């Protein structure tokens, strides 16, 4: 009988219990044991859900208080020295302490999930230092649930790491493979002693382009793990794309199972054929999409499974990746449009799809009703008029080269903007949002609940805008923002005001730590019926003589941070969003707004994991930004913001975006990114973040001044802006005010040192 399996499950709780418990612990209002009890309740609820849905291979150790890669760092004893004396080293690594900056955070492959980057050195000593996977396996076993422990694989762990603060930058992490694998061997052996039948080691790094030494490291690692006495069966799981040149290696490893993604990595079918299949290995077939919300086409999946059965000893019906990337339960969405809801499946519904497909592999007649229902859903979605707009499609078809180009060159525009703005060297600004206080959230809830009307809500938001403007003036910032008090989320806010989007009430997914988002759902053609931000920005501008920026989210980020329709190419949807936002940019300029910031943090994270697909993606991604930003005059400055990704390999394309000012995350990496900017000859202005807003730590003026001096040694000082790493929405004013005051002081100090002498 075919089995069903899940790579991982949402860990935040049905009502975000983990978020609130974690934040109470951080605030000192709850103990570690109280936090642990909430975590236990979520884990047990998840196991029960999966067991009751009929899942055969239920994951354990996929749960995390913050991040699964951070969990691996703790498990193998790779805690950097600066955190070893912390009261709680686990959270100190993620959030920092007054004396120790947090570890770097970046995107988990091409998702919007962030992980904590391991820091290693040539003398890093690995040892089995935690009992989490063993405790959670035993916890589930004691409840009568036999689980399949899952861990980040050793090769992926090393390939995701970076040199620690005291290590040489050219550290080869794979030089540490053998001692690390010995720790994994101990963990695998111990899980075997506890009674585990399967263990799943996740190696998503194998879906990227890998050189022969890296593949040889995989071979060496699993030859050692395959030789552990008394071990469970090992499945090596890949996901997010096809396995490429790693597939023959996976076929030949001394392990019992291989996981392949057939949703994001459709080419795996062809690769399996070319490789002659997996022999007698078990194929964990990632057939149910763990990254999007659309209902599975059960008949199409069953046909694929029938083909795959001939290419492996056994086929296990699996999610494509962890289900942590989708919301928990469609049943928690009573307000979602009924027709649209019928087209979707969240994590709980995907469990049913997996169990149904596993039954269908053995006897399709046993699930004939479910197969017919699935076919009806697919047909209804394809034929629905709600997904298409003739006007939108005609406008996209009419795009030409003039719609993607500014009138003048960057240098000409820069002179016009300097004349208009009259800013000092090292101008200071922020990324956009200011803290979302309890009062703001309460006002939004009161509006949704009907306790206040629109006019009262607007009055409260305008009062907050004025407070934020006055604070920025008092702090001495040069370019101001309105603070975005009226916005719930940088994507959702705009999507709610566009056609073609749907929204959830409880569709939360984890972005990092206790930061969760509710991605919008793009189900149809996108258009902007009316202006969105004009009134808020012009009101803020009326309160001050200083420039106030208009704040928008770029089309690519609107696309990538949503659950996007899968019935047309992403590029087509992105062009529709770009045209909708272009209208907003033009309206802001007409209203007299001198600077429009179009945030595009997703451009690098959306980069395909295989180089073979880069050029096509970057071509339309850059095109969409230019469609959005190119309808304005020279003197209107276009800024953009990007964060928490490595940008060095796409700098030519970032230059082609043709923004006037680029604001980037740089504080956690200590300005490492700027060397790439210098080598590329980047011509625009750059604002490298000097304040890490994802940590409660308040950097001193001296510390930020040192970062600015480091930046000025790499780039021309006249190119440099001074800014935090990201928006301030998640921080408290008690942290933000002193940090921004220090930032302004740092800018003034370095300005005095480096400002050009008068002619």
Residues taking part in catalysis: 694
Residue whose pair of structure tokens reads 């900056």 in the numeric block: 101
Q: Cβ–Cβ contacts within 10 Å for residue 267, how many? A: 16
The Cα-based distances of 359 to 2, 170, 289 in angstroms read: 7, 51, 18
Written as one string, the DSSP assignment of 507-519 is --EEEETTEEE--
Q: Cβ–Cβ contacts within 10 Å for residue 83, how many? A: 21
- Cβ burial 427-440 (10 Å sphere, 16+ → b, else e): bbbbbbbbbbeeeb
d(CA 314, CA 345): 26
Q: Find, among 692, 689, 695, the residue nearest to 708 by Cα.
A: 689
Q: How far is CA 736 from the centre of its chain?
A: 24
Task: Let me know: does 99 contact 83? Beta carbons within 8 Å.
Answer: no
Tokens representing 419 are 């004349």
Q: Cβ–Cβ contacts within 10 Å for residue 414, how many? A: 20
d(CA 577, CA 111): 20
Q: Cβ–Cβ contacts within 10 Å for residue 657, how many? A: 25
DSSP state of 677: H
The Cα-based distances of 361 to 269, 302, 308, 617 in angstroms read: 17, 7, 11, 36
Tokens representing 746 are 């740092």
- Alpha helices by DSSP H, listed for 642-732, are 651-657, 673-680, 701-714
d(CA 669, CA 288): 37
Q: How far is CA 43 from the centre of its chain?
A: 23
Tokens representing 490 are 């940088």
Q: Find, among 495, 57, 111, 98, the residue nearest to 315 by Cα.
A: 57
Q: Find, among 143, 207, 37, 730, the residue nearest to 431 by Cα.
A: 730
């Amino acid at each position: 009988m075919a089995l069903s399996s899940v790579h991982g499950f949402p860990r935040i709780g049905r009502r975000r219990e983990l978020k609130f418990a974690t934040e109470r612990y951080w605030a000192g209002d709850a103990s570690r044991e109280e936090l642990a009890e909430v975590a236990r309740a979520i884990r047990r609820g998840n196991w029960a859900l999966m067991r009751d849905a009929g899942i055969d291979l239920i994951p354990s150790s996929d749960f995390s208080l913050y991040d699964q890669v951070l969990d691996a760092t703790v498990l193998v004893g790779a805690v950097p020295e600066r955190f070893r004396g912390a009261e709680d080293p686990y959270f100190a690594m993620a959030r920092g302490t007054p004396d120790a900056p947090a570890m770097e955070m970046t995107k988990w492959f091409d998702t919007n999930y962030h992980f904590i980057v391991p820091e290693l050195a040539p003398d890093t000593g690995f040892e089995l230092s935690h009992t989490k996977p063993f405790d959670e396996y035993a916890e589930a076993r004691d409840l009568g649930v036999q689980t399949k422990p899952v861990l980040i694989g050793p090769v992926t762990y090393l390939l995701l790491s970076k040199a620690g603060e005291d290590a040489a930058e050219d550290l080869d992490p794979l030089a540490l493979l053998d001692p690390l694998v010995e720790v994994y061997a101990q963990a695998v052996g111990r899980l075997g002693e506890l009674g585990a039948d399967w263990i799943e080691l996740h190696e998503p790094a194998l879906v990227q382009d890998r050189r022969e030494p890296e593949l040889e490291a995989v071979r060496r690692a699993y030859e050692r793990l395959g030789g552990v006495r008394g071990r469970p069966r090992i499945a090596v799981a890949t996901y997010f794309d096809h396995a490429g040149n790693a597939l023959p290696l996976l076929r030949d490893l001394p392990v019992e199972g291989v996981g392949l993604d057939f949703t994001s990595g459709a080419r795996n079918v062809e690769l399996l054929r070319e490789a002659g299949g997996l022999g007698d290995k078990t194929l964990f077939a990632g057939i149910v999409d763990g990254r999007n919300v659309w209902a599975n086409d059960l008949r199409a999946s069953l046909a694929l499974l029938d083909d795959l059965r001939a290419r492996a000893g056994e086929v296990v019906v699996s999610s494509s990746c962890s289900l942590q990337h989708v919301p928990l339960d469609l049943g928690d969405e009573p307000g979602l449009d009924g027709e649209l809801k019928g087209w979707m499946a969240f994590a709980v519904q995907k469990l049913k799809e997996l169990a149904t497909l596993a039954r269908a592999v053995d006897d399709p007649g046993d699930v004939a009703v479910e197969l017919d229902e699935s076919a009806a859903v697919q047909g209804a979605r394809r034929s629905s008029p709600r997904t298409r707009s003739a006007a939108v499609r005609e406008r996209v078809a009419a795009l030409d080269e003039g719609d993607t180009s500014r009138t003048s060159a960057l240098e000409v525009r820069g002179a016009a903007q300097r004349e208009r703005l009259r800013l000092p060297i090292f101008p200071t600004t922020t990324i956009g949002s200011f803290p979302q206080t309890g009062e703001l959230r309460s006002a939004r809830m009161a509006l949704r609940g009907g306790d206040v009307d629109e006019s009262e809500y607007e009055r409260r938001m305008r009062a907050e805008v004025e407070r934020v403007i006055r604070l920025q003036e008092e702090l001495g910032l040069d370019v101001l923002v309105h603070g975005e008090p009226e916005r719930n989320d940088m994507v959702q806010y705009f999507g709610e005001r566009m056609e073609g989007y749907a929204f959830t009430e409880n569709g939360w997914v984890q972005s990092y730590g206790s930061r969760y988002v509710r991605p919008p759902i793009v189900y149809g053609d996108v258009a902007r019926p009316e202006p969105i931000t004009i009134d808020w920005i012009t009101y803020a501008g009326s309160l001050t003589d200083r420039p106030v920026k208009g704040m928008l989210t770029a089309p690519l980020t609107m696309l990538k941070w949503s659950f996007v329709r899968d019935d047309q190419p992403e590029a087509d949807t992105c062009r529709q969003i770009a045209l909708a936002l272009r209208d907003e940019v033009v309206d802001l300029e007409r209203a007299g707004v001198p600077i429009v910031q179009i945030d595009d943090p997703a451009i690098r994270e959306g980069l395909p994991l295989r180089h073979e697909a880069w050029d096509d993606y970057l071509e339309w991604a850059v095109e969409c930004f230019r469609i959005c930003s190119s309808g304005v005059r020279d003197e209107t400055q276009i800024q953009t913001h990007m964060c928490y990704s490595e940008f060095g390999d796409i700098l030519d394309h970032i230059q082609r975006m043709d923004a006037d000012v680029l604001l980037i995350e740089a504080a956690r990496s200590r300005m490492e990114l700027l060397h790439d900017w210098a080598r590329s000859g980047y011509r625009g202005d750059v604002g490298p973040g000097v304040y890490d807003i994802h940590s409660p730590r308040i950097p001193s003026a001296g510390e930020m001044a040192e970062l600015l001096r480091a930046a000025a040694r790499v780039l021309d000082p006249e190119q440099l802006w001074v800014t935090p790493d990201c928006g301030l929405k998640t921080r408290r004013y008690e942290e933000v005010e002193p940090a921004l005051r220090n930032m302004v002081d740092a800018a003034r100090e370095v300005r005095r040192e480096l400002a050009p002498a008068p002619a």
